[in-house]
Structure 1
Amino acid sequence: MDLTADELAGVADLFGGLTRAELGRGLAELAFKSGEDVDPAVFADDIDAALASYHLVAVDPDGTGADVTDPLLVPGPVAFPELPPGATDLPHIMDVAERPVDSEAAAEAAQRRFQREAATAVDEDDVARIASLLDVSYELEAWGSVDLSTARERLDDATE
């Protein structure tokens, strides 16, 4: 089953947020509904790619801001969540309650991650990642009302 990052964000959005295991299980359920019997682990690379592209953001479910081992994955700043075929049945199939996620906590988590990744990209002189992060910075500021001007300036300086 081939899903877009926006579709992964759509599945997570159905519940407010899902853990990585829950999202994988939900995607496996969708694959099963379309005639494919796959292990949820098959979607690990898709989930990683959606996180890397900021289609998904990992958020502390308790709202403490701590790094946690099992964060909730929520739609991120570049996502246009859409539901893949059959996804509206997932709340009836999966035993997962809808979870309200504090948008401010999600924005702060994304900002912290962005700042770390920006520093790493500059330190490693990763031109492609720098360009990608520059694009994400504008989306993230609009999505989460955060200020990334300092990090963006550092990214801009690295491209000169």
Structure 2
Amino acid sequence: MTHDELAGVVDLFGALTREELAEARSELAFRQGEEEPDPAAVDAALEEYALVEHEGLLVAGPAAFPTLPPEASDLPYIVDVPEREVDHEEIGERVRDDLLAAVERDDPERLRELSYDLEAWAPVDASDVRARLESEGEES
């Protein structure tokens, strides 16, 4: 599954635990006649901000274009997941804080792009991330 497909499965439910996502992915693999999915794909999607983890729940992240993989539309009838509400503003604030902390160690162009993705994804202002990136660039 691509990062966008992982985000699509999570977005189908609103939020999933890692275990629930693993169950959904296993079910999809079985239905599609494929091998068991690689659990490292979730960590890779988290690293790319296609997924965001907050308080034990995964949500589709700011860098994702959630897409449902084939046969995923049946998952809500197969995987038992309780209804949940997620606070996108709270999660957005946490992601913004992560981006601010990453300014010194990560690719500035990627972080700038993610800051705009974040503002489109959650009701937060990430201009401080861009300002920090600019000030870091001036110090170099």
**Fold similarity call, TM over 0.5:** yes
**Moved segments of 4+, more than 4 Å:** none
User: Which residue, 33, 36, 40 being the options, matches 1:35?
Assistant: 33
Q: C-alpha distance in 2, partners of 1:145/1:106? A: 7
In the alignment, which residue of structure 1 is the partner of 2:19? 21
Q: CA deviation at 1:146?
A: 0.8
Q: C-alpha distance in 2, partners of 1:107/1:78? A: 16
In the alignment, which residue of structure 1 is the partner of 2:65? 80
In the superposition, the TM-score normalised over structure 2's length comes to: 0.85
Work out whether 1:143 is the aligned partner of 2:121. Answer: yes
- Select between 9-18 and 92-101 the one with higher mean Cα deviation: 92-101
User: Which residue, 81, 84, 91 being the options, matches 1:96?
Assistant: 81
Q: Which amino acid is 1:5 matched to?
A: H
- Pair 136,77 (structure 1): closer, same or farther in 2 beyond 3 Å: same
8 Å CA contact retained: 1:10, 1:82? yes
Q: C-alpha distance in 2, partners of 1:106/1:20? A: 18
Q: Structure 1 unaligned segments of length 5 or more: list them.
A: 61-70
Q: Structure 2 unaligned segments of length 5 or more: list them.
A: none
Percent identity between the two aligned chains: 50
User: Which residue, 35, 40, 50 being the options, matches 1:55?
Assistant: 50
8 Å CA contact retained: 1:107, 1:143? no
Q: CA RMSD in A?
A: 1.9
In the superposition, the TM-score normalised over structure 1's length comes to: 0.76
SS of residue paired to 2:84 = coil
Q: C-alpha distance in 2, partners of 1:23/1:97? A: 13
